[in-house]
Structure 1
Amino acid sequence: MSITEEIQARVIDKLDYAFPAKPKPLNEREKADTIARIKKLLKEKNAVLVAHYYTDPEIQALAEETGGCVSDSLEMARFGANHAAETLIVAGVKFMGETAKILTPHKTVLMPTLEATCSLDIGCPIEEFSAFCDAHPDRTVVVYANTSAAVKARADWVVTSSIALDIVDHLDAEGEKILWAPDQHLGNYIQKQTGADMLMWQGACVVHDEFKTKALEDLKKVYPEAAILVHPESPAAVVELADAVGSTSQLIKASQELPNDTFIVATDRGIFYKMQQLSPHKHFIEAPTAGNGATCRSCAHCPWMAMNGLVAIADALEHGGKAHEIHVDPALGERAMQPLTRMLNFKKG
């Protein structure tokens, strides 16, 4: 076994996705009272709510109603950095809160719960990842945004799914060999598109990894006029069936621009809120996670995203503290800012 295989085997042996309990459902009166409480606290605390496309629809709607934003992880952080609010309440998963804190270290960054994490983040611990990088010092380290601040700080580049293809293509043209982490499916997709020399970390998203090719083919037979939209964190065989492949924002754009009236969507179903909002006359169907070998650990909705309940948002705003506030060591944040800035400058240029 090579040193690379040994390192990854150690990580796999330790993985244990202890999925959290979802927030207790609220009745209509409780929901209205909690939303009113959040709106009041946002004003009192000079705070703004930023929410990811994968959070529940009621949270996305609240972010929009209160002058916040609904977007992908990087745009959430950029919006917060450019907003006048002194406090950011980030509805998403922990790496998103960390990214916001890295970009705005002078602001208070709160999350509904710090226990909301990500299988890609869990599956790429900094100790093993650093050893992986040290074993391949000749490679340029490119990490996906779905990683901890410590992993970002170890990288040469941080990328999002919307810009990863362009950056790797650029690095390949410069003769660079790539060490990619953590999502193997996204990495394999980029490698196939660019032909770049890429060494992969073997991580995966529990949501996208579950989409099933045979079940998707069967569903397409039921809806032959439907276009298939696929996030590149999905397995290669699922990606090959797609009419459009892309990041969350790219898939939303495709759902608007493609002429189809019906779409089968292979990403977290939280995205349906924005797709339906922008194309109310269109019909959106979840890509299947059932079939041979199915565990349905996510059933097309991230279990950690589901932790972002209204009561938790209100509690974070009212109490803050250890259970809600994101802290990033300033020195670590400065190092992580360097590859993030590299990506932002590339996007501008």
Structure 2
Amino acid sequence: MGKKELSEKISKLAGEKNAAILAHNYQRPEIQQIADYLGDSLGLARQSSKLDTELIVFAGVDFMAETAALLNPGKKVVIPDLEAQCPMASQLPAKTVQKAKKEHPDAAVVLYVNTLAEARAEANVTCTSANSVQVVNALAEDVILFGPDSNLAWHVKQNTDKEIIPIPKNGHCYVHKMFSATDIELLIEDFPKAEVLVHPESDPEVQKLADYICSTSQMLRRAQESPADEFIIATEIGLVHRLNRELPNRKFIPALSDGICQQMKLHTLDKIYRALINEEPVVEVPSDIADRARAATERMFEVSKG
């Protein structure tokens, strides 16, 4: 079955089942195009909390599907491939957060949503790459335990007077660690008029070369609003596919053409179709963990309105 025919079948079946397909910006182009909602972690979290559908098919990695599940306790959330597990999220188990809280009892715990629900249940509030600075600066505490991405923690530290303690010390996204300052500098030489848009999961040396440090949704917004015609994009290649599709009159240069999240790319149209038919694999979060992680997520919404 070709991609076009399969896409049509998916759309028809989703309508019949009152299902919504949510997809992250790093998904394959053909999945981006059949999604009811396409966005970054914050946008998808917000959207999942507003849905009135009975079934949610989440084309993203595990922690994202968990967010949808804990925000929608009365709905069924399925993920097309259970192996779509974020390596960074696994770097911060709940026991590591618990240990850090004992060592710093007066600190607030701010966890990136790129973290499994069991760890987020230990947080005061969660954040995304789009709102991390806003969330941290909205807290009363002067000391912040922040995890799991140490590069995002560095970015926050540049924009706050608070003490930021990364947990773990070297948490990272393997895709954004691929970008190097040398590669970006060479691209700047080749495209001197291009704006440099860098994701804050990138190393500090790369962030320092940015014209704008952005989440994926902020990169899209900047490209829409900027007077520039060329952009160097330092994030996973999936966003470049979206930018090229939605803004065909602009030029988007990937910082690394093989900057690919293998876990995101595990989802396929065929797997989405089967997930819709079988309504599985179901994403389930234990109720005690879900309640606490939900509270941390809802607090994020409260302090990052807009």
TM-score norm. by structure 1 comes to 0.83
Tell me how far apart the structure 2 counterparts of residues 49 and 241 of structure 1 sit (CA, whole Å).
36
Alignment partner of 1:213 out of 159, 163, 181 = 181
- Residue 191, structure 1, aligned to residue 157, structure 2: yes
Aligned 8 A contact 1:212 1:288 in 2 = no
Instruction: Report the aligned-residue RMSD.
Output: 1.5
- Alpha carbons of structure 1 residues 175 and 98: separation in structure 2 relative to 1, 3 Å: closer
Between the two proteins, the alignment pairs up a number of residues equal to 304
Tell me the secondary structure at the aligned position of residue 228 of structure 1: strand
Code of the residue aligned with 1:303 in structure 2: it is: Q
> Which residue does the alignment assign to 1:304?
263
Tell me the secondary structure at the aligned position of residue 119 of structure 1: coil
> Which residue does the alignment assign to 1:180?
146
Tell me how far apart the structure 2 counterparts of residues 135 and 288 of structure 1 sit (CA, whole Å).
39
Code of the residue aligned with 1:176 in structure 2: it is: D
Deviation of the 1:189 alpha carbon: 1.0
> Which residue does the alignment assign to 1:295?
none
Tell me how far apart the structure 1 counterparts of residues 48 and 218 of structure 2 sit (CA, whole Å).
21
- Alpha carbons of structure 1 residues 342 and 279: separation in structure 2 relative to 1, 3 Å: same
Tell me the secondary structure at the aligned position of residue 121 of structure 2: helix
Alignment partner of 2:16 out of 44, 51, 60 = 44
> Which residue does the alignment assign to 2:199?
231
Tell me how far apart the structure 2 counterparts of residues 73 and 189 of structure 1 sit (CA, whole Å).
18
- Residue 314, structure 1, aligned to residue 273, structure 2: yes
> Which residue does the alignment assign to 2:138?
170
Code of the residue aligned with 1:226 in structure 2: it is: A
Code of the residue aligned with 1:325 in structure 2: it is: V
Task: State how 1:96-111 maps to structure 2 within 5 Å.
Answer: 96-111=64-79
Deviation of the 1:129 alpha carbon: 2.8
Deviation of the 1:175 alpha carbon: 4.4
Alignment partner of 2:95 out of 127, 131, 134 = 127
Runs of 5+ unmatched residues, structure 2: none
Tell me the secondary structure at the aligned position of residue 26 of structure 2: coil
Alignment partner of 1:55 out of 27, 30, 40 = 27
Aligned 8 A contact 1:230 1:266 in 2 = yes
Tell me how far apart the structure 1 counterparts of residues 253 and 267 of structure 2 sit (CA, whole Å).
23
Work out the percentage of aligned pairs sharing the same amino acid: 36
TM-score norm. by structure 2 comes to 0.95
> Which residue does the alignment assign to 1:285?
253
Runs of 5+ unmatched residues, structure 1: 1-28, 290-298
Code of the residue aligned with 1:330 in structure 2: it is: S
- Deviation readout 1:70-90 (Å, 9 max, x if unpaired): 011232233233222100000
Deviation of the 1:166 alpha carbon: 1.2
Tell me how far apart the structure 2 counterparts of residues 178 and 193 of structure 1 sit (CA, whole Å).
13
Deviation of the 1:210 alpha carbon: 1.1
Deviation of the 1:348 alpha carbon: 3.2
Code of the residue aligned with 2:7 in structure 1: it is: I
Tell me how far apart the structure 2 counterparts of residues 332 and 168 of structure 1 sit (CA, whole Å).
23
Aligned 8 A contact 2:196 2:232 in 1 = yes
Alignment partner of 2:46 out of 78, 100, 105 = 78
